[in-house]
Amino acid sequence: MKRFLLSLVVMAGISSATMAQSAQYEQTMAKNIGELDSTATFTPDALLQKAGLFERIGGAEKSQWQPYYYAAYCNVMSSLMQKDKSKVDGLADQAEADLTKAEQLNGNASEIACIKSLIATARLTVDPMNRGEQYGMISAKALEEGKQLNAENPRVYLLQGQALLYTPEAFGGSKTGGKALLEVALQKYAAFKPAGKLDPNWGEGYAKQLLQQASK
Amino acid sequence: MSLFNRLLIIAVLLPAWLSAQVNISGKVTDGKKRPVAGANISIKDSYDGAVTKADGSFSFQVTPAGEQTLIATMAGYQPLEMKINTAESQQLDIVLKNAARELKVVTIAAGSFEASDEKKNTVLKPLDIVTTAGAGADIVNAIKTLPGTQQTNDREGLFVRGGTGYETQTVIDGMLVRNPFSSGVPDMPGRGRFSPFLFKGTTFSSGGYSAQYGQGLSSALILESTDLPARSSASAGVSVIGVNGGVETLSKDKRTSYGVEADYTNLAPYFNVVKPKQEVNLGPEIIGTSANFRRKTSKTGMLKFYGYANWSNMGFDYKSLEYPGSTESYQVRNHNIYTNMTYRENLGSGWKLYAGASFSTNTDKIKTDTLPKNPAETNIGVRSDLTQTKLMLTKGLGNFSALRVGAEYQYAVERSAFNQYNLNYVDNYAAGFAEADVYFTPAFAGRFGGRTEYSSVLGKVNFAPRASLAYKVGYNGQFTLAYGDYYQKPEPQYIRFDRGLDYMKATHYIASYQLLSNYYTFRTEVFYKQYKNLVKTVPDYNNNGDGFAKGIEVFWRDRKTVKNMDYWVSYSYLDTKRDYLNYPYRVQPDFAANHTASFVAKYFVTKIQTNFGLTYSFASGRPYYNPNQPVSKFMSDKTINYNSVGASVSYLTSIRKAFTIFVVQVSNVFNQQQVFGYRYSSDGLRRNEIVPNVPRFIFVGMFMNFGTDRRQDIINNL
């Protein structure tokens, strides 16, 4: 009996340690993903701190694609917010490296395509005159891919809408077209359920905000 | 509490009990003690760590766990792992090394300005050529804002470092272009035949170029055509001088594309409004057509065809200098065809194949007449046919080194007729070359090679050794040295009369320093060029001419200091003298100015989608021949300085779904007087200034480009 109890205790200890690990993963991820929505975190520098953390989590966990996905997300968002355009390519490179790891871990391909589109957009902003055509195509194609992979992914429509809004009308942008896409995005957000707790689910607030701005 | 419970609690809470934290902090620097910001510092297999701040510092808490592995990573650097003791706080100095693959490799580029969009750090991109004010979307005119070039706007071609326009060769996809400029009339040079949009890359080499290229004493303009287009499209344009249109189709599998283009230019309406100095008596009109075909034959194979056919008529009347009261009439009718087919493929195990073939023909029919004095007109006909083939094999050696060997063959038929007299010749030209790029280290490289040529009309063989060395200093800087011999056949108009002529020869010595970053380019070059065997026309045709050219050049481009503004400045000092043609001795030739400078600025105002461009060019006065001077003062008179300010405004918009540009360009905005030289009557009593036919040209145009398949929608939905 004693032996049995002891083995139970040992087992409990072991499983609690592994559970603690996985709980720590979920907790840390959930906390940091949550913080991405806060204005204090959504600055170029703070996002880089977060990107570093997600990379570290990815390195420790080894089998999870989400940390690398968020690392790429933070890096590319930071690159898009950089005032010094000479920093953009380096951050885009880093985002790409993170995204490749997320891809290798069989991450959600539609979500990954969205980040690919953002990376191309970031590179475009460095030199729109010369890079416009090349990266514009890549960015748009990635979103098309993302849509083919999952037509219910609201981020595809958000990014398409955003691109239409921010592209000057001279280059094929359109306010009405952009607004229409954002409305589609909001419908998709209402119906969207991420596959897992830690899977990408960002952008609804931003979509509303964009729509509001566009409607002014 | 039972033992069991106690044990349970201990087991479950064990990890938390160990949570007394210690501090790990420090600083990350690179090999040169500069802080590395954004490096990710982590404890292996844990979440603990931090990202370095702008000053390279970091600090974080860890749970003590004895010896642990600390990892530092940063894009562009080799990742670093080190053991640390986490039992107590640590202060660490971490030095990251540049990753080998990120080490920028030195490039062998003495004397050459690369303008390609393939590479990130280039001096001029194709779009830069189009948006350079005053250049009128002409490749050569834009190149004239770079150091080493002369503002010889009264003559055809690119005059580089004391060389004539003939000494610059134009090469498209490795194949020589026999007549890169459309035919002009005296003092009014023709424009370049090829649109800058055809090319993804333009390399302008003002000396010391590779053994791949021959038959240019001074300079090579190396153009590389675009690959498959991103989409099918159609384009149309209308301007004060003409109309153009074209379509380009990309196949569904995106491996094949073909396109046709046509343009019609007629300056007569413009000249009805703005009277040129000389009166138009023919045209000026140009009909141009072109066709292209490109096919990706495999993952690495590419087949390209480009064909171009062009007809132009142009003629002017001007007051006779020789016979006051009479009128000189000059008319030229030109017909030009250029075709070019190239194939590239990787053959495996490091070998690459390039094969090319080209055929071109150019006919000028010239009529001159002095009215009413001499009612019998003079007819001159010149026709050049050139067929060429070229084969090159490249073998990659190691990471960067490469060996190139190749051969080319040209069959040229040069015909000319002066009234009823004919002077024709045929030349079989063969050349072989071999060249090795040797990287001693990624930062130190040499290129060694040579070229040998045989021309049947000259009946002589030459051998031209070439060598250059490049050494990288720091991250963005490099020094280059180059040496080479360059041979060129004399111009057809001399070979026609004397088959006994020899090659002309130039030897280049160049030293350069350049600093190239994403937003700045600085370069300076000093050069010495020795000319030998230049053609002289007195007392009869011979190769006894010679000369030299030396100078220093500076170039600075900055795309960062002012937001949305891109500007470059170039300055060249040239000291050159030559004895050629009918010169009595070595003098500074009439096409060379001692000082030339250009300033080009482009400013894009995002809000109104408008690009403003300004170009200022300066050249000190050029010598001219004054027959009233004694022989001892031959070519000692100089023209006034040359000043020119060009301005352009381009508005980018879309009309329906077509990307549209409205352009207004004005050359010589301030109508400054420009004198390129003087022409004297044979008795030396009267002279004419050589001036631009249209002192100030105002160009207004609209160009549209629209997608013709659904892929365009993707772009528009961007």
A60–chain B nearest CA distance, Å:
4
Q: How far is A97 from chain B (nearest CA, A)?
A: 9
Q: Which two tokens stand for residue B648?
A: 């352009």
Closest-CA distance of chain B to residue A199, Å: 19
Which of B11, B50, B715 lies nearest to residue A136, judging by beta carbons?
B715
What band does B530 get if pLDDT is binned at 50, 70 and 90?
very high
Q: How far is Cα B337 from Cα B359, in angstroms, rounded to an integer?
A: 8
pLDDT digits 0-9 by tens, B559-590: 888 888 889 999 999 999 999 999 999 999 99
Q: Which candidate in B14, B604, B718 is best for mutational testing of the A interface (most A CBs within 10 A)?
A: B718
Q: Which residue of B has its CA nearest to A75?
A: B38
Whether the upstream peptide bond of residue B180 has omega within 30° of 0, thus cis, is: no
First to last CA, chain B: 68
Partners of residue B716 in chain A, C-beta under 8 Å: 172
C-alpha span between B451 and B428 (Å, rounded)? 17
- Report residue B607 as tokens: 């809000």
Q: What is the helix (H) or strand (E) element at residue A149, kind and residue range?
A: helix A128-149
Nearest CA of chain B to the CA of A53: how many Å?
7
- Cβ separation A13–B659 shorter than 8 A: no
Determine the distance in angstroms separating the CA of B38 from the nearest CA of chain A, rounded to an integer. Answer: 7
Q: Measured between alpha carbons, how far is A189 from B46 in angstroms, rounded to an integer?
A: 34
Most confidently modeled of B13-22, B91-100, B158-167? B158-167
Closest CA to A200 of A113, A124, A126, A128: A113
User: Nearest-CA distance from A182 to chain B in Å?
Assistant: 13
User: What pLDDT score was predicted for residue A156?
Assistant: 94
Residue in chain A lying closest to B11 (CA):
A13
Of the candidates B49, B230, B654, which has its C-beta nearest A52's C-beta? B49
To the nearest whole Å, the CA of B190 is away from the closest chain A CA by 29
Cα atoms found within 13 Å of the Cα of residue B94, Cβ hemisphere only: 34
Of A17, A28, A59, the CB nearest to B15: A17
Tell me: pLDDT of B330 over 80: yes
Residue A104, both tokens: 């290798």
Best probe of the B interface among A9, A68, A82, by most B CBs < 10 A, is A9
Within 10 A of B234 (CB to CB), how many other CB atoms are there?
16
Which of B506, B497, B606, B589 has its CA nearest to residue B542? Answer: B497
Q: Quick check: B519 and A59 CB within 8 A? A: no
Chain B residues in contact with A172 (beta carbon < 8 A): 654, 657, 659, 715-718
**R_g of chain A computed on alpha carbons:** 20
Q: Is the pLDDT of residue B199 over 80?
A: yes
With CB atoms and an 8 Å threshold, state whether B38 touches A169.
no
Q: For residue B73, which residues of chain A lie inside 8 Å, CB to CB?
A: 55
Q: Which residue of A has its CA nearest to B76?
A: A90
Inter-chain CB proximity A48 and B38 less than 8 Å: yes
User: Is the dihedral angle over the CA atoms B535, B540, B544, B547 positive or is it negative?
Assistant: negative
Taking CA atoms, what residue in A is nearest to B716? A172
* Closest alpha carbon within chain B to A130: B127
Q: A194, A152 in Cβ contact below 8 A?
A: no
- On average, the pLDDT of chain B sits at 87
Nearest to A90 among B76, B657, B714 (CB): B76
Write the CA distances from B498 to B100, B414, B457, B541, integer angstroms: 58, 14, 10, 7
| Sign of the dihedral through C-alpha B83, B86, B90, B94 | positive
Give the separation between CA B284 and CA B270, rounded to whole angstroms. Answer: 10
Query: Which of B4, B10, B519 is closest, CB to CB, to A86?
Result: B519
Q: What is the distance in angstroms between the Cα of B206 and the nearest Cα belonging to chain A?
A: 25
**Chain A residues whose beta carbon lies within 8 Å of the beta carbon of residue B606:** 168
pLDDT at res. B405: 96
AA letter at A76: V
CB contact under 8 Å between B718 and A167, yes or no, is yes
Question: What per-residue confidence (pLDDT) applies to B715?
Answer: 38
* Residue among A59, A167, A169 whose CB faces B42 most closely: A59
Give the three-state DSSP class for A16.
helix
Between residues B656 and B620, the one the model is more confident about:
B620
* B125 neighbourhood in chain A, CB within 8 Å: 130
Please give the pLDDT value at position A21.
55
Contacts of B117 in chain A (CB under 8 A): 130
Q: What is the pLDDT along chain A (216 residues), one digit of tens a residue?
A: 555 555 555 554 444 444 445 888 888 899 899 888 787 888 888 899 999 999 999 988 888 999 999 999 999 999 999 888 888 888 998 999 999 999 999 999 999 999 999 999 999 888 777 777 778 888 988 999 999 999 999 999 999 998 888 877 766 678 888 899 999 999 999 999 888 888 998 888 888 988 888 887
pLDDT, tens digit (0-9, with 9 covering 90-100), for B37-77:
889 998 888 888 899 988 999 998 888 888 888 999 887 78
| C-alpha–C-alpha distance, residues B231 and B237, integer Å | 19
Contact A170 B609 (CB under 8 A): yes
CB of B43 closer than 8 Å to CB of B68? yes
Name the pLDDT band for B110 (thresholds 50, 70, 90). Answer: low
The beta-carbon neighbor of B127 closest among A59, A129, A136 is: A129
Q: What is the rounded distance in angstroms from the CA atom of residue B548 to the CA atom of residue B595?
A: 16
Shortest Cα distance from B657 to chain A (angstroms)? Answer: 7
pTM: 0.78
Give residue for tokens 């960062």. B560
Q: Is there a contact between A172 and B657 if contact means CB atoms under 8 Å apart?
A: yes
What ipTM was predicted for this assembly?
0.80
End-to-end CA separation in angstroms for chain A: 75
Taking an 8 Å cut-off on Cβ atoms, the answer to whether B714 and A141 are in contact is yes
Cβ–Cβ gap A141/B519 under 8 Å: no
Which of B8, B40, B716 is the closest to A56 by Cβ? B40
The pair of three-digit structure tokens given for residue B91, joined into one six-digit string: 């202060």
Asked, as a colleague might, if the bond just before B284 is cis with ω within 30 of 0, I would say yes
Tell me whether residue A139 is exposed, middle or buried, using C-beta atoms within 10 angstroms of its C-beta: 0 to 12, 13 to 18, 19 or more.
buried
Q: Is A12 in Cβ contact with B8 (below 8 Å)?
A: yes
Cβ distance of A172 and B718 shorter than 8 Å: yes
Smallest CA–CA distance from B662 into chain A, residue: A170
| Whether the predicted pLDDT of B358 surpasses 90 | yes
Segment B227-236, tens digit of pLDDT:
888 778 888 9
What does the block give as tokens for B594? 């001692």
- In single-letter form, the type of residue at position B94 comes to I
Q: What is the mean pLDDT of residues B527-536?
A: 96
Please give the distance of CA B658 from its chain centroid, rounded to a whole number.
29
Separation of alpha carbons B683 and A55, rounded Å:
86
The reported pLDDT for the residue numbered B459 is 94
* Cβ <8 Å between A52 and B48: no
Q: How many helices (H) and strands (E) in chain B?
A: 6, 39
DSSP string, B138-153: -HHHHHTTSTTB---T
Give the pair of three-digit tokens for residue B266.
């007629």
- Name the 3-class secondary structure at B378: strand
Q: With beta carbons under 8 A apart, name residues in chain B contacting A173.
A: 718
Closest-CA residue to B513 (of B472, B465, B468): B472
Tens of pLDDT, residues B474-493: 777 888 899 999 999 999 99
**pLDDT of B121:** 38
Tokens 């070439």 correspond to what residue? B466
Give SS3 for B383. Answer: strand
Taking an 8 Å cut-off on Cβ atoms, the answer to whether B7 and A9 are in contact is yes
Is the pLDDT score of B109 beyond 80? Answer: no
Cα–Cα dist B375/A59, whole Å = 92
Closest CA to A205 of A81, A34, A79, A67: A34
Cα dihedral sign for B131, B136, B140, B145? negative
Interface A–B counts its CB contacts (< 8 A) at: 116
Indicate the residue of B11, B44, B652 with minimum beta-carbon distance to A12: B11
Q: Show the tokens assigned to B109.
A: 């580029």
pLDDT average, residue stretch B370-394: 89
Residue B162 has pLDDT above 90, yes or no: yes
Is pLDDT of B594 > 70?
yes
